[in-house]
Amino acid sequence: MTLPLPTLAEPDHFSLGEKLLFAALAAASLASFLRRFAPIVSRILHAKKDADFHLFPLGRRIWDFFWEVLCQAKVIRQRPLPGLAHALVFWAFCAFVVVTLNHCALVFGSGFLAPASAPGRAYSYFAALFALACAAGILGLFVRRFFLRPRWFGKDLSWESGLIALLIFALMVTYLAAFFAHGPLAVRSLWWAHTLTLLLFLPIIPHTKHLHLVLSPVTIFLSRGGFSRIPLLHGDEDFGLVAGKDLTQIAALQAYSCVECGRCTEHCPANNTGKTLNPKDVVLGLRAYLNALGPASEEPLLGRYNAQEAVFQCTTCGACEFQCPVGIEHLPLIVGLRRGAVNTGAWEDAHGAKFFLALEKGSNALGLPASEREKFIEKNALPLFDGTQEYCLWLGCMGGYDPRGREIVLALVKVLRYLKVSFGVLRKEKCTGDPVRRLGNDLLFQQLAESNLETLTSSKTKKIISICPHCVRTIQEDWKEFGLPPAVEHHSEFLARHLGVLKGHDFSRAESSQEGRVLQVPSLGPGKAQPSSEQKEETEKVVFHDPCYLGRYRNIYDEPRAVVSLAGELVEAPRHKERSFCCGAGGGLAFLGEEKGQRVSHARAAELAATGASVVAAACPFCNTMFRDALAAQGPGAPELVDIAQLAARGLPQNPASNQTENASA
């Protein structure tokens, strides 16, 4: 071998004393690790079983593990630079598994990666590359944490993070230095330095957030799956997360997996507007509870370790859960804590109680008489659904009662009539239960869901279209507990599918064959909307606000943008698509009175207005109602606020001849 590259130097033998010392230290290190780790595992295992947990099918789990753990996809995607630095450290650790095994085996003379051998040499260089990357990465993370200090790390510097960074750095340096070591003493010293660092590192893991090294791969693999999936309540004594005894194994596992990276905090609309809620603290509060009281405790979870006020500030926008790199499912936890408080009556809130009472007696979340909805239907001659039409147009509370929501419905009706799609509205409709579901009122939710399911079943509804992403989500996912809901889609999906006919305003061709009507959604990259330039010399700039319940909850991003691009030039807000920032209405908060701190809607409206767009397009009546006041507060020159249905309806003729015939074919 004539390569000029240095070779990794290893001690070639160890004295009995060294062997004994190593064995003793290793045993102590391992014992110290287990002394702390075993109780954690025990607490997790002694927690309540997850009643609705199924290991199979494994496909999703394997994929999640591959993508999120091995590829570090979420870590990198949400924070590219620090994410990459973390990934380098992680991959280096993977590469070092073999190195470390060999390192320890050496003591007993059974090293299997002789640096002089071809595979040993190759692997040592492979590992060295990772070691270099890892050292650079950890240095970068160190600088970020101790010098750049992002807000979500909190005010206090975490010295344990510094120590860990130092140890990781030392591990890498002691390994790399061995390539350049001369003389047996230096080689031996480096080996011991590396070993001691390692043995010191091991017991620190369960003492710190670096527990995630061990737990988060398991957490990700075992996650319950589905976004913001609210678990079933089991038996007569399950009211949600009331006390420690209600925390399930997976909830406990997640609580111990938190790495305190603060991604959830960074994106939380409540936390960003000066409220008490910090999703990270919710998780850490549960961990502190488990540490102090264990999983069998009867002490309420809301109290010493988590504030009731905080969990009721959540808009359930899901940004936290979406971003979490270690597989924590925040929404089932937060909604679970709310359920625990509401299902037992512990939550006493004047607005909340009034809201629940109104829905106990009435039909809609706004507390208005149902006759108001009937008047609206009558006045606008909306056809009643009789089972023969293609779509049941679900009005929802906002569409049925809110003047702005009604405008959206009427715009959609105009489009439906133009497209000659047959539809009808239900004579009787109740709130889907979305806000009470998210607020944790299972009794009321069940009553509403069952009542609606009965209406839909008896009216033979097959397909629902709705202007409200909250209704869509609740009908499709949450009602499943109580029956089989009909297919449901959001109007953005419908409009995007019929874009071909709506595009171009060339209505003479609208009467053409049926085939011409259905077009696939053009795929649009982020920020690359293509306005159809031939019709519009001067295009308006339109910024689209992704509703949480359409984007993160339903994974619909391109469809509404395609509709927007009909009317103008799409521009993007800094936070868009899966990182969209909530309007503040979700989670029942639209009905809970004035917020503490800055209004979420104002923060978002300012961001949307700052894009310079002259139009804000929304696709959710709740976002719409929140932004109405918030945009007005931006002062004169604030952008116009419309729903995408209104954009789609704008170019259509006022009274198309086809207006009256929508039922003729049915």
The span of 88-96, 157-165, 231-239, 279-287 binding another protein (CB under 8 A) equals 231-239
Instruction: Find the binder of another protein among 156, 236, 537, 538 (CB under 8 A).
Output: 236
Residue written as tokens 């927007």? 564
The strand ranges marked E within 285-418 are: 391-394
Q: Between 407 and 489, whose beta carbon lies closer to another protein?
A: 407
User: Directed axis angle between helix 249-257 and helix 279-293, to 10°?
Assistant: 110
CA-wise closest residue to 615 among 646, 586, 577? 646
One-letter amino acid for residue 462 of the chain: K
Q: How far is the CB of 426 from another protein (least distance, A)?
A: 14
Classify residue 465 by burial, with Cβ atoms within 10 Å: 0-12, 13-18, 19+.
buried
Rounded to whole angstroms, how far apart are CA atoms 383 and 416? 12
Query: Mask: binding to another protein, 306-345, rule CB under 8 A, as x and -?
Result: ------------------------------------xxxx
Count of residues that bind another protein according to CB under 8 A:
44
Q: How far is the CB of 202 from another protein (least distance, A)?
A: 46
* 628: contact with another protein by CB under 8 A: yes
Instruction: Find the binder of another protein among 370, 382, 519, 521 (CB under 8 A).
Output: 370
Q: How far is the CB of 367 from another protein (least distance, A)?
A: 6
Q: How far is the CB of 443 from another protein (least distance, A)?
A: 4
Q: Between 429 and 489, whose beta carbon lies closer to another protein?
A: 429
List binders of another protein among 414-453 (CB under 8 A). Answer: 441-444
* Total length of the chain: 666
Q: Between 266 and 595, whose beta carbon lies closer to another protein?
A: 595
Distances (CA, A) of 5 to 8, 121, 251: 10, 10, 50
Q: How far is the CB of 364 from another protein (least distance, A)?
A: 9
Q: Between 526 and 593, whose beta carbon lies closer to another protein?
A: 593
Q: Between 107 and 431, whose beta carbon lies closer to another protein?
A: 431
Query: Mask: binding to another protein, 632-661, rule CB under 8 A, as x and -?
Result: xx----------------------------
Q: Between 290 and 366, whose beta carbon lies closer to another protein?
A: 366
List binders of another protein among 588-627 (CB under 8 A). Answer: 590-591, 593-594, 625
Residue written as tokens 């691009």? 565
Q: How far is the CB of 411 from another protein (least distance, A)?
A: 15
* 478: contact with another protein by CB under 8 A: no
Query: Mask: binding to another protein, 562-591, rule CB under 8 A, as x and -?
Result: ----------------------------xx
Beta-bridged to residue 487, according to DSSP, are: 463
Q: Between 158 and 344, whose beta carbon lies closer to another protein?
A: 344
Rounded to whole angstroms, how far apart are CA atoms 440 and 650? 39
Rounded to whole angstroms, how far apart are CA atoms 333 and 239? 13
Q: Between 503 and 599, whose beta carbon lies closer to another protein?
A: 599
Rounded to whole angstroms, how far apart are CA atoms 142 and 164? 10
Q: How far is the CB of 508 from another protein (least distance, A)?
A: 32
One-letter amino acid for residue 199 of the chain: L
Query: Mask: binding to another protein, 384-413, rule CB under 8 A, as x and -?
Result: --------------x--xxxxx--------
Rounded to whole angstroms, how far apart are CA atoms 392 and 539? 34
Classify residue 517 by burial, with Cβ atoms within 10 Å: 0-12, 13-18, 19+.
middle
Q: Between 260 and 402, whose beta carbon lies closer to another protein?
A: 402
**What's the 3-state SS for 615-645?**
EEEECCHHHHHHHHHHHHCCCCCCCEEEEHH
Q: How far is the CB of 348 from another protein (least distance, A)?
A: 8
Q: Between 10 and 643, whose beta carbon lies closer to another protein?
A: 643
Q: Between 203 and 435, whose beta carbon lies closer to another protein?
A: 435
Query: Mask: binding to another protein, 95-134, rule CB under 8 A, as x and -?
Result: ----------------------------------------
Q: Between 52 and 360, whose beta carbon lies closer to another protein?
A: 360
**CB within 8 A of 34, min separation 6: which ones?**
none
Rounded to whole angstroms, how far apart are CA atoms 211 and 564? 46
Q: How far is the CB of 345 from another protein (least distance, A)?
A: 4
Q: How far is the CB of 583 from another protein (least distance, A)?
A: 14
Q: How far is the CB of 303 from another protein (least distance, A)?
A: 18
Q: Between 290 and 409, whose beta carbon lies closer to another protein?
A: 409
Cβ–Cβ contacts within 10 Å for residue 664, how many? 9
* 52: contact with another protein by CB under 8 A: no
List binders of another protein among 137-176 (CB under 8 A). Answer: none
Give SS3 for 371.
Answer: helix
Dihedral angle over CA of 372, 373, 379, 381, nearest 10: -160
Rounded to whole angstroms, how far apart are CA atoms 634 and 638? 6
Q: How far is the CB of 269 from another protein (least distance, A)?
A: 17
Q: Between 350 and 657, whose beta carbon lies closer to another protein?
A: 350
Q: How far is the CB of 424 from another protein (least distance, A)?
A: 19
Rounded to whole angstroms, how far apart are CA atoms 265 and 603? 16
How far is C-alpha 298 from the geometric centre of its chain's CA atoms?
Answer: 30
Residue written as tokens 């049926």? 514
Q: How far is the CB of 618 from another protein (least distance, A)?
A: 15
CA-wise closest residue to 301 among 445, 154, 444, 440? 440
Rounded to whole angstroms, how far apart are CA atoms 259 and 325? 9
List binders of another protein among 338-367 (CB under 8 A). Answer: 342-345, 348, 350-354, 356-357, 360-363, 366-367
How far is C-alpha 406 from the geometric centre of its chain's CA atoms?
Answer: 30
Whether residue 626 contacts residue 584, with contact meaning beta carbons closer than 8 Å, is answered with yes
Q: How far is the CB of 224 from another protein (least distance, A)?
A: 21
Burial track 395-406 (b if 16+ CB lie within 10 A, e otherwise)? bbbbbbbbeebb
Q: Between 538 and 594, whose beta carbon lies closer to another protein?
A: 594
Q: Between 301 and 366, whose beta carbon lies closer to another protein?
A: 366
Whether residue 563 contacts residue 644, with contact meaning beta carbons closer than 8 Å, is answered with yes
Q: How far is the CB of 468 from another protein (least distance, A)?
A: 14
Q: Which two tokens stand for residue 448?
A: 């509403």
* 36: contact with another protein by CB under 8 A: no
Provide the total of helices (H) and of strands (E) in the chain, helices listed first: 28, 8
One-letter amino acid for residue 362 of the chain: G
Q: Between 85 and 233, whose beta carbon lies closer to another protein?
A: 233
Provide DSSP, 186-229. Answer: HHHHHHHHHHHHHHHHHHHGGGSGGGHHHHHHHHHHH---STTP
Give SS3 for 54.
Answer: coil
Q: How far is the CB of 459 from another protein (least distance, A)?
A: 14
Which residues would be at the binding site for another protein (CB under 8 A)? 233, 236, 239, 342-345, 348, 350-354, 356-357, 360-363, 366-371, 398, 401-405, 441-444, 590-591, 593-594, 625, 628-629, 632-633
